[in-house]
């Protein structure tokens, strides 16, 4: 790495204005010096740092050599598609749109559209400001800039600009959490004439929801604040999924997910074609909604959405049933076994069948909704903050087990 030359006060000010999105032609007015003096100041600074005369590159070199150091921001606060992220390091090393198109093997028009979307996403006025923000969010790093300074070559920016990994969802099961054995289940025969009911040998009140349906037990590994911890594993945690879906909280962090749209409220669901009901009357899903802050992150990183999804603003939905397995007595008449390996949808309305079902996930039918452009919605929410931000304060307190909560919304 090059040694960092100390910056003069006027040089720091000039950099600051470039980072804030000022054009070179605006600098004389901002710095209150003549255009010629600005030109000399800028030229000398570029020469000293051996930077080409491109503000975006000058900033990147200043940051990478430690000549200047902007305040860093939390990378998880920015949700940006990989196709836009990968442009930032290229901007930082002074690549033109044409060069980017060649480097990425894309058409110039495609790169231009992505660059435009990137600028809108970052609300950046200039490439220099975009690089500055990219540095703050740790998308542009010293590694890529210093490697370019040393070798003149750009590494695989895709790896430097890898999209955020799929977050560990609140509803996801964690490595150390264990499902109850099916040997803990039995069929309890009621009074004569009554159908037997699936139960646990040591059943407690917590094992059933308000409709009387029996839920799969699963141990929980929670932090002191009640959050699930440890590596996420495939599959949903039955109780966390139940609570999140029932209350329509955010799938990522159990954040409030009800959006205030001015004329009413809605929840944002990201659904796939698989969830469309056969008669086309709506969607049936076991995937809870997302809050506006986590929406793009989900859309860009959740494996289930990578083959395409539809973003819906859902104004009406109903809890309709569960994904579960039906159990029947085994030959010994004591133990029970699942009648099928796969989990299937069982409607709450079929009360007789529900008596022998073990529930794993709560299903909701989305009946009144509007498909929307997710990126536009997220952008609008940042521009008109009070309109579509979550309407309730964030609560970090997770709920208890299969119980209602004072702040529950009606289904």
**Residue ranges binding Zn ion (CB under 5 A):** 250, 252-253, 255, 291, 294
CA atoms within 13 A on the CB side of 45: 26
Least distance in angstroms from the C-beta of 168 to Zn ion: 13
Q: Which is nearer to Zn ion, 111 or 250 (CB)?
A: 250
- d(CA 266, CA 316) in angstroms, rounded, equals 8
Vertex 118 angle, CA 167 and 291, to 5°: 35
Question: Whose Cβ is closer to Zn ion: residue 89's or residue 253's?
Answer: 253
Q: What span, in angstroms and rounded, lies between the C-alpha atoms of 381 and 28?
A: 35
Strands 357-372 and 310-329: antiparallel
Contact status, residue 221 vs residue 177, Cβ threshold 8 Å: yes
Smallest gap from Cβ 335 to Zn ion, in A, equals 41
CB 297 to Zn ion: min, Å: 9
Q: Which is nearer to Zn ion, 68 or 266 (CB)?
A: 266
We find the least distance from the C-beta atom of residue 389 to Zn ion, in angstroms, to be 11
Rounded distance between C-alpha atoms, residue 45 and residue 39, angstroms: 10
Q: How far is the CB of 70 from Zn ion (least distance, A)?
A: 27
Chain residue whose CB lies nearest Zn ion = 250
**For Zn ion, the closer CB: 98 or 394:** 394
Give how far Cα 16 sits from Cα of 11, 26, 119, 226, 275, Å: 9, 13, 19, 42, 50
For residue 402, the minimal CB distance to Zn ion (Å) is 22
Q: Which lies closer to Zn ion via its Cβ, residue 147 or residue 255?
A: 255
- Nearest approach, Cβ of 250 to Zn ion (angstroms)? 3
Tokens 């606060």 label which residue? 77
DSSP class per residue in 184-197:
GEEEEP-STTSPPE
CA–CA gap between residue 157 and residue 181 (Å, rounded):
47
Whose Cβ is closer to Zn ion: residue 28's or residue 167's? Answer: 167
CB of 49 or CB of 291, closer to Zn ion:
291
Nearer to Zn ion, 150 or 394 (CB): 394
Rounded Cα distance, 373 and 358, in Å:
37
> Which residues lie below 8 Å from residue 156, measured CB to CB, with a gap of 6+?
none
Sequence-distant (≥ 6) Cβ neighbours of residue 74 within 8 angstroms: 137
Assign 43 to helix, strand or coil. Answer: helix
Q: How far is the CB of 101 from Zn ion (least distance, A)?
A: 36
Q: In the complex, what is the shortest distance from the CB of residue 260 to Zn ion, in angstroms, rounded to a whole number?
A: 15
| Burial letters 206-245, b for 16+ CB under 10 A, else e | ebbbeeebbbbbbebeeeeeeebeeebeebbbbbbbbbbb
Least Cβ distance, residue 171 to Zn ion (angstroms): 11
C-beta of 252 vs 374, nearer to Zn ion:
252
CB-wise, 187 or 252, nearer to Zn ion? 252
């Amino acid at each position: 790495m090059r040694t960092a030359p100390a910056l003069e006060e006027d040089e720091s000010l000039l950099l600051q204005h470039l980072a804030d999105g000022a054009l070179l032609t605006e600098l004389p007015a901002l710095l209150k010096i003549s255009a010629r003096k600005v030109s000399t100041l800028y030229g000398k600074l570029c020469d000293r740092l051996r930077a080409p005369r491109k503000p975006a590159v000058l900033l990147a070199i200043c940051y990478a050599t430690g000549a200047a150091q902007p305040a860093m921001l939390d990378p998880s606060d920015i949700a940006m598609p990989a196709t836009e992220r990968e442009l930032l390091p290229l901007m930082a090393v002074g690549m033109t749109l044409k060069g980017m198109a060649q480097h990425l093997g894309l058409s110039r028009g495609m790169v231009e559209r992505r660059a435009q979307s990137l600028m809108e996403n970052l609300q950046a006025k200039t490439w220099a400001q975009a690089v500055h923000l990219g540095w703050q969010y740790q998308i542009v790093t010293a590694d890529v800039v210093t490697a370019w300074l040393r070798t003149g070559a750009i590494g695989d920016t895709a790896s430097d600009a890898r999209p955020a990994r799929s977050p560990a969802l609140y509803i996801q099961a964690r490595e150390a959490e264990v499902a109850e054995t099916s040997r803990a289940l039995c069929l309890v025969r009621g009074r004569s004439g009554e159908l037997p009911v699936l139960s646990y040998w040591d059943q407690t009140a917590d094992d059933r929801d308000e409709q009387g349906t029996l839920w799969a037990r699963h141990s929980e590994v929670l932090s002191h604040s009640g959050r699930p911890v440890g590596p996420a594993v495939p599959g949903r945690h039955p109780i966390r999924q139940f609570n999140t879906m029932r209350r329509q909280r955010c799938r990522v962090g159990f954040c409030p997910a009800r959006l205030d749209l001015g004329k009413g409220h809605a929840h944002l669901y990201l659904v796939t074609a698989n969830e469309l009901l056969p008669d086309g009357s709506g969607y049936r899903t076991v995937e809870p909604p997302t809050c506006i802050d986590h929406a793009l992150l989900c859309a860009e990183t959740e494996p289930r959405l990578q083959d395409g999804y539809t973003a819906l603003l859902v104004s009406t939905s109903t809890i309709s049933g569960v994904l579960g397995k039906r159990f029947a007595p085994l030959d010994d008449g004591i133990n029970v076994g699942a009648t099928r390996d796969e989990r299937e949808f069982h409607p709450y309305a079929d009360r007789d069948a529900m008596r022998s079902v073990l529930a794993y996930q709560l299903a909701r039918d989305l009946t009144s909704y509007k498909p929307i452009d997710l990126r536009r919605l997220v952008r609008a929410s940042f521009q008109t903050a009070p309109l579509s931000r979550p309407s309730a304060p964030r609560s970090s307190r997770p709920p208890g087990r299969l119980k209602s909560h004072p702040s529950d919304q009606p289904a």
